[in-house]
Amino acid sequence: MVYQGKVVGFCNPGCRDKFEKAVTHFEAAFSLRDDASLELGIEENG
């Protein structure tokens, strides 16, 4: 599996599936946060 341009290895398919599920949740949360920030006119520094 490749994540953010890096190869990620797992001890078994179950670990890979858990990682993929967690990444999906985190990316959705970040997307919601970014959308809310845009609606409020908040810009990231950096």
With cut-offs at 50, 70 and 90, classify the pLDDT of residue 9: very high
CA distance 11 to 43: 39
Residues 17/21/27/29 CA torsion (nearest 10 deg): -160
**Is 46 domain-assigned?**
no
**Is 27 domain-assigned?**
yes
Look at the pTM and tell me if it is higher than 0.85.
no
How many structural domains compose the chain?
A: 1
The string of pLDDT tens digits covering residues 22-46 is: 999 988 888 887 666 655 666 655 4
Can you read off the two tokens belonging to residue 20? 């993929």
Does residue 2 carry a pLDDT above 50? yes
**Is 23 domain-assigned?**
yes
* Helices of type H across 1-46: 13-40
**Is 18 domain-assigned?**
yes
C-alpha atoms less than 13 angstroms from C-alpha of 3 in its C-beta half-sphere: 12
Widest pairwise Cα distance in the chain: 43
**Is 13 domain-assigned?**
yes
Q: Which domain holds residue 34?
A: 2-40
